[in-house]
Structure 1
Amino acid sequence: MKKRFLEIGKIVTTHGIAGEVRVQAWCDTNDFLTEFDVLYFDQGKTKLEIERARTHKNVVILKIKGIDDMNTAQTLRNRILYVDRNDIELPEGTYFIQDLVGCKVIDFNCPEKEYGILTEVSQTGANDVYHVKGEDGKTVLIPAIPDVIQKTDVDAGMIEITPLKGLFDDED
């Protein structure tokens, strides 16, 4: 089941004396985090209204409504920020990593052939790399490129692939 509230970053320290906080973003870009008017604490239980947000060097600076001084902002250090999945519209063919983890990876041309379970996604810059753990306990790294990934259905928990030659031991 997909989680409604997704981790999007962590407050790492304060910024200035007016109650702003510095956030380490856990998303593809810092700018993505600046697009939200509402974020959450406590896995969605506490709603936060964002007065303003901007990217500054390698962090995001947030001004949260009701946090107006450095001492109050200091109490928020190390808190995890969440975003409501319903507030995000992903482009076609993109997925949240947490939705991919746990998916069964099967052969596109032979659906009864299962390669394993996707356990992790590495973001390399050029393309993502899927870590697929087989029944034998070995992990195989699969490039998430159109030639390999044929179909992704996170609702069904399936990723269909056409593996590159030599990717698996039993390949010709």
Structure 2
Amino acid sequence: MQLQVARIGKPHGIRGEVTVQVLTDAPEARFVPGAEFHVEPAKFGPLTVSSARWNKDILLLGFEQVADRNRAEEIRGAKLFVETEELDDDGEEGWYEHELVGLEARVGGQVVGKVTALNTMPAQDLLVIEGADGKEILVPFVEEIVPEVNPEDGYVLLTPPPGLFELNSADEGEADGPEGNGAGA
């Protein structure tokens, strides 16, 4: 199984280095010289790390296959993947986006939407939920608000505080779904 660990950002300098958006908890272990990544789109890969360094809070990578800024600009936006035999099975942390996308979002017994993405943020991750009305809702992916993730039965259980759906909705909307959420919490 392939697991996305980074997305390539803009070029840095003239020697082919690029910034990367890190999507792994262990960048020091993953991004070392000699590490090879599958790339999406496939026409840009595979890529082999030749150098890795931090510039403040930004990881800069050099690849053996990228010699200059022009080539670095071509691979901008590409996704880097590693091959994994099995996923974390420690139970507490270790949910990957592909395990969450498509799960029903429930408050109590009521389905309030579907998980469409996981935004990995510096402070905390956010579940992106598409509500029944089609609006995007951002939900902090913390145990207090998402106490249960059940991929076998196809759902995540939410216990949002009152007003969370209205506050974190991309657009102010109808109150029928969120009112039910407050009652179920």
- TM-score class, shorter-chain normalisation, is 0.5 to 0.7
CA contact (8 A) 1:41 1:48 kept: yes
Shift of 1:104: 1.0
Shift of 1:116: 0.9
SS in 2 for 1:94: coil
Higher helix share: 2
Shift of 1:166: 5.3
Among candidates 4, 13, 17, match of residue 11 of structure 2:
13
Residue 59 (structure 1) aligns with = 58
Shift of 1:84: 1.7
> Take 1:58 and 1:166, find their aligned partners in 2: how far apart are those partners?
34
Among candidates 77, 82, 103, match of residue 84 of structure 1:
82
Residue 169 (structure 1) aligns with = 179
Shift of 1:169: 0.6
SS in 2 for 1:169: helix
Which letter does structure 2 place at the counterpart of 1:54?
A: R
Shift of 1:117: 0.8
CA contact (8 A) 2:50 2:64 kept: yes
Give TM-score scaled by structure 2 length.
0.63
Q: Which runs of 5 or more structure 1 residues have no equivalent in the other structure?
A: none
Q: Which runs of 5 or more structure 2 residues have no equivalent in the other structure?
A: 165-177
Aligned pairs, number: 162
CA contact (8 A) 2:18 2:72 kept: no
CA contact (8 A) 1:119 1:133 kept: yes
Among candidates 2, 5, 12, match of residue 4 of structure 1:
2
Assess, with a 3 A threshold, how the Cα gap between structure 1 residues 131 and 63 changes in structure 2: closer, same or farther: closer
CA contact (8 A) 2:47 2:65 kept: no
Is it true that 1:136 corresponds to 2:146 in the alignment? no
Residue 48 (structure 1) aligns with = 47
Give TM-score scaled by structure 1 length.
0.67
Assess, with a 3 A threshold, how the Cα gap between structure 1 residues 78 and 23 changes in structure 2: closer, same or farther: farther
Alignment map for 1:150-165 (pairs within 5 Å)? 150-154=147-151, 157-165=154-162
Shift of 1:136: 2.9
Residue 102 (structure 1) aligns with = 102
- Residue identity over aligned pairs, in percent, reads 15
CA contact (8 A) 2:6 2:21 kept: yes
